[in-house]
Amino acid sequence: MTDQAYNFAYLDEQTKRMIRRALLKALAIPGYQVPFASREMPMPYGWGTGGVQVTAACLTPDDRLKVIDQGADDTTNAVSIRRFFQRTAAVETTERTADATVIQTRHRIPEQPLAEGQVLVYQVPIPEPLRFLEPRENETRKMHELEEYGLMHVKLYEDIARHGEIATAYAYPVRVEGRYVMDPSPIPKFDNPKLAGNPAIQLFGAGREARIYALPPYSDVVSLDFEDHPFTASKADHACDLCGAGSSYLDEVITDDRGSRMFVCSDTDFCASRQAQGHRGRLSPQGATP
């Protein structure tokens, strides 16, 4: 079978139509989880089947696609999804955040601020923020319906009681437009402030759970907290060892078995473009000038 045997962007038009209807509904009710008829995709659940379906429904032949996994353009998940759409949709791809019109992401929001007209598609493993507090799905739906979100604070209370601070570091629950409590997918809480007032459209797809939710541009998004334990966006207290950036989210990399480690930007495009501009970090090769 040749690649031309596929419809544009793999999914058939009726399926894309169904997903677009769910997307429109999700955008109309920010933070509300819209059920959709999730399809089997040629990849395992947990690899971004929800995000891929949303991206497929959004892509047009004129789009330029960027795919990141934990901020990186060159990891297995990102490479394989990017190649999937190159083959099935023949769209242009890019690694530069500013050039992309559609960005599919797993677990990060790019460091470079997004602009109007861009679409950010998140891969979501578990869309229900109340899941581990209340296992009954009919009950969590009722809680969303009636805005009974006290239980979410019980989780934060438990964090403080056990660790002295809110120890939840990723998938930090947010409240959207003063209404729905939403799981922002497992992005680090460092990225939570970027959810709010973002000019880009943010779409969340959960394939296994068959749910889509969304944040329209410039949505009001508030991270939940206590009055005396306010939300803080945390990151490793270092600068990037390659580009010297002090304000980006960092990955910690073990470099040998004697305790040496380095911190590098998790956003590879951000790090590479800073290095191209001549920024240097602690472990940058000496004498190498751009």
Q: Which positions lie near another protein, rule CB under 8 A?
A: 142, 146, 148, 150-151, 153-154, 157-158, 160-162, 226-229
- Residue 48 identity: G
Our CB check for another protein shows the closer of 49 and 223 to be 223
- Residue 251 identity: D
Kindly state the smallest distance separating residue 143's Cβ from another protein, in Å. Answer: 9
Our CB check for another protein shows the closer of 75 and 168 to be 168
Residue 58 annotated among the catalytic residues of the structure? no
**119: phi then psi, degrees, rounded to nearest 5:** -120, 125
Our CB check for another protein shows the closer of 159 and 220 to be 159
Kindly state the smallest distance separating residue 145's Cβ from another protein, in Å. Answer: 8
Kindly state the smallest distance separating residue 226's Cβ from another protein, in Å. Answer: 4
**209: phi then psi, degrees, rounded to nearest 5:** -85, -5
Our CB check for another protein shows the closer of 43 and 133 to be 133
Kindly state the smallest distance separating residue 243's Cβ from another protein, in Å. Answer: 38
- CA dist., res. 90 & res. 282, Å (int): 40
Indicate which residue of 31, 48, 205, 281 is catalytic.
31
Indicate which residue of 243, 246, 259, 281 is catalytic.
243
Q: How many of the other CB atoms lie within 10 Å of CB of 178?
A: 9
Q: Are 2 and 191 in contact (CB under 8 A)?
A: no
Our CB check for another protein shows the closer of 176 and 215 to be 176
- CA dist., res. 16 & res. 54, Å (int): 8
Q: How buried is residue 23: exposed, middle or buried, by Cβ count under 10 Å (0-12/13-18/19+)? A: buried
Q: Which two tokens stand for residue 161?
A: 């009681």
Give the closest residue to 200 by CA, choosing from 221, 185, 181: 221
- CA dist., res. 282 & res. 245, Å (int): 11
- Any idea how long the chain is? 290
Q: How many of the other CB atoms lie within 10 Å of CB of 52?
A: 26
Give the residue carrying structure tokens 């120890």.
167
Q: Are 242 and 257 in contact (CB under 8 A)?
A: no
β-strand pairing of 211-215 with 34-35: antiparallel
Kindly state the smallest distance separating residue 223's Cβ from another protein, in Å. Answer: 13
Indicate which residue of 48, 51, 58, 240 is catalytic.
240
- CA dist., res. 119 & res. 178, Å (int): 23
Indicate which residue of 51, 207, 271, 281 is catalytic.
271
Q: Are 108 and 249 in contact (CB under 8 A)?
A: yes
Residue 271 annotated among the catalytic residues of the structure? yes
Our CB check for another protein shows the closer of 157 and 218 to be 157
Kindly state the smallest distance separating residue 149's Cβ from another protein, in Å. Answer: 8
Which positions are catalytic? 31, 240, 243, 265, 271
